[in-house]
Every structure is written in C-alpha cells, then in structure tokens.
Amino acid sequence: MGEWVDVLLVRHGESEANAQGRFASRRWDPHLTAIGRRQAEKLVAQLEGVPIRHLVSSPLARARETLEPLARARGLPVTILADLSEVDLGEWDGRHFRELYQLEPFEAWRRDPERFPPPGGESILAVGRRVLAALGAFCDAHPAGWVVAATHADCLKAAVLTLLDADGPAARRLWAPNLGQLWLRYRSGQWGIHLGPLCPAALAHP
C-alpha cells in the first residue's frame, strides 16, 4: 500500500483581519500583522528536525506569508493549492463581528455551520471534503516525506469533522488558534489523525 505521508496543517499567523475583529474569506485578502510575522518565524524553530519535503499553501496572503520564513530556511518552494482556501463566507466577507452578532442567520451559523452556511457561502463539511481531496491528490503525486500545509481555522476544523463523520455543531467544540496545528497521515486514499507529539523523537513510523 505504500508509505504513510505525514501532513501538518497549520493555521496562518495573526492577520490584519484577526486584529480588527473582521471576517476575511476571499474577496478581502489581508496580510499578517507584526505579531503574525513573528509567529511565522517561530514556526521555523518549532519544526526544526522535522524532515519536510514539501510546502503547500492556500492562495491567500496570510497563509502564504506564514510559510515564507520556513521556505527560506529549508530552501523549498511553496506550492499553491486553491482548495486550501478559507471557507467561503459569502455576504459576510470583510464584515466586523460586531455587525453580525445580533443577526439570526449568524447565530444559526454559529450553532450549526453545516445546516446554516453563510448567505451565499459554504457549509463546513464542504470545506472539509475539498481540503482533504486537495491534500490527498498532492500526496498521491508526492508519496514521500512530510508535507506542511498553511491554511485557515475552519479548514482545520472541517478536516477533523469530515474524518470523524461528525455533525456541524461539533465545529463549535473545536478551536484552532493562530499557528494551531493538526497532524494527519495519508496513504492510498486513507486518512488518519495522529495524536502524538510533533518532535524528532516521535517521527519514526511504527
């Protein structure tokens, strides 16, 4: 069946949207803040000793910028995968949280982002399916070594929900902070969630 490919999904560092309390999906493409850039630099040290072979990223600036220090340190190119992009927030893209908190569609989305996606936007499990499909196709084409993938909070949460066959409300029990990480393993169309520590001592395959 071949080797397992280790895939580390990393949420981007703090963005201008995070600092301003605004939604950023696709039409507004904010950059990292100074804090976010420092977080990106810390990723280099956090992953020291991890045998990374490939870097992939959402096309959005905050994800690409998160991988820039790691790409320089390792001398690796960054491959853009469109399907690692943030959840499509439709009409809410770019709006301040405080504008939305009193709206019933927003509260319904917070309760169940699968049944009640944003107006003109995307459901949470649709996000999970496209993220895992894109990463699986990349791993099939590059079946060796570690892949580090820079993406977005709902992409990490959606991947977990999809792999566990969980329902939409479970998304509200998951938290993916800036630079939060999810370690997955992939082989021949099969995915698994790795719960071990990410450190050189834990890298040997069983």
Residue 191, pLDDT above cutoff 80: yes
Edge-first strand listing for the sheet containing 181-187: 78-80, 52-57, 146-151, 5-11, 181-187, 190-193
Catalytic residue IDs: 12, 86
Separation between Cα atoms, residue 90 and residue 81, nearest integer Å: 20
User: Which segment of 18-27, 69-78, 144-153, 190-199 scores lowest on mean pLDDT?
Assistant: 190-199
Q: Give pLDDT, residue 141.
A: 95
With beta carbons less than 8 A apart as the criterion, state whether 81 and 135 touch: yes
Q: Give pLDDT, residue 23.
A: 86
Length of the chain: 206
Backbone angles phi, psi at 42, to 5 degrees: -65, -30
Q: Give pLDDT, residue 203.
A: 45
Instruction: Work out the number of other CB atoms within 10 angstroms of the CB of residue 152.
Output: 25
In sequence order, which residues have a C-beta less than 8 Å from that of residue 139 and are 6 or more positions away? 5, 7, 147, 186
Separation between Cα atoms, residue 200 and residue 206, nearest integer Å: 14
Residue matched to tokens 């699968």: 114
What single DSSP character describes residue 171? Answer: G
pLDDT digits (tens, 9 = 90+) for 4-60: 899 999 999 999 999 999 988 778 899 999 999 999 999 999 999 899 999 999 999
Residue 201, pLDDT above cutoff 90: no
Domains of the chain: 5-202 (3.40.50.1240)
Q: Give pLDDT, residue 97.
A: 86
Residue 202, pLDDT above cutoff 60: no
pLDDT digits (tens, 9 = 90+) for 77-93: 999 999 999 999 999 99
Which of 139, 137, 116, 113 minimizes the C-alpha distance to 127?
113
Q: Give pLDDT, residue 1.
A: 59
